[in-house]
Structure 1
């Protein structure tokens, strides 16, 4: 079999520079260094009149991105990535600005607490509280509560999947759609892709094991399904779903399996596996052919779900 580098789409090779410059952590000391070095980009995109402002509810910060034009708008509840141990709404502000402009939706991004300082269930409690605030504030935010999607990438995708399970089981408001970009779903690391990509320069097995240890803490060999959604036996009655992942991603097989099980449970599910793509490729190389196609596929699915008359 070809090496990892030889399998990467040539347009995506420059994106590996970030992983080499800022390797994900495998120890607490490395985590503190990683957080200090990966500062947020403060050059926000100017996207078709999108504006944003922060809201605070019970100490939880949410950043609300509002597109131009009169509402009520659909909404996308965005959960950032970072392995449950890094990231913030500040890091994702350029992404959410563009997402709001391209989908015509209010994007509400939640700044949940991070592990290991705040292990499960704290991050999930935060994203759950933020979603409840979104629905409760729908009129003030000029949001149509019948057109709300839950979305996230990587760890954020895992939290999004756990949140939709929790919302279903609690009888919460109907969620119109869930968008999961290479979601982090399975704490067991038993898949073929988890074994295959154990030492690649992007997010690999050692990085993932450390992140899950931080998130779950000690003494949880069988965590609740809301922490590790891959363990959920019943996936029925969940929202229509788009899952995207690269074929060189550690999470590839757990994501394919989750999509298959969603479909088998009667959930309308769309799955894209992008050849030659690694974890984070569409962020590192958004103008590459694969990066652009991935974002186009995302926008199409969200627009179809949230603007059904279009």
Structure 2
């Protein structure tokens, strides 16, 4: 599964001013990422505002993404939720010819036990024709998938190949690295800690800021993976402030504001999210100018 080493980007879903999906903006974004050296694309993760898209819109976005990508990069489809049977049906019926894996978030809101999380993924694993990447993001789901549960799933189901870890807990990362199968992948789900996670064995990141800054981020991740931390650390530090700003008013409002400044797509988000404030836009513009002066 070397195709999931390096920098993946969780694509935003561009919208027109009337709230409809902006397919020309999505085309520009995909080409921006391919040209920027990204290693793979994740379509309709949380950053894609998936919770606000209809079933028909999701299918059209997946199909369009595959069409524009045209085999240039591996593709991952985000298919997750807290209704196990419904997500199982979505995975079973997913037309996956152009996709290499499914990213499926640990069930949110319901706050299942660890055994409930295990059985949820067991059910999905037995239905999926594609490899599954687990996604643990307690700040959004309201519950943590423990290292023990992650490694139990990794050992028990060969098509569960990786975890996108966004718990922020290095105790948890360390335990996963120690106890996982050798070929199971730990992937950072947080941009600011991708570098230290790679230092203990993570194979890369699934990024938000990479939507706007693919070259800067992917260059830094490649330095980390080569073990060249002397060069990677300054690159990492140069991205900290713009990363903080992109998340200051929620995801993906900040990164969409940055993409608008880069003339890639508009900054429209769907309610209950709202656009970044004028103050945040100003700060993001200043950081973009500062980064461009470093290149």
Name the TM tier (shorter chain): 0.3 to 0.5
Q: TM-score, normalised on structure 2?
A: 0.38
Instruction: Name the structure with the higher strand share.
Output: 1
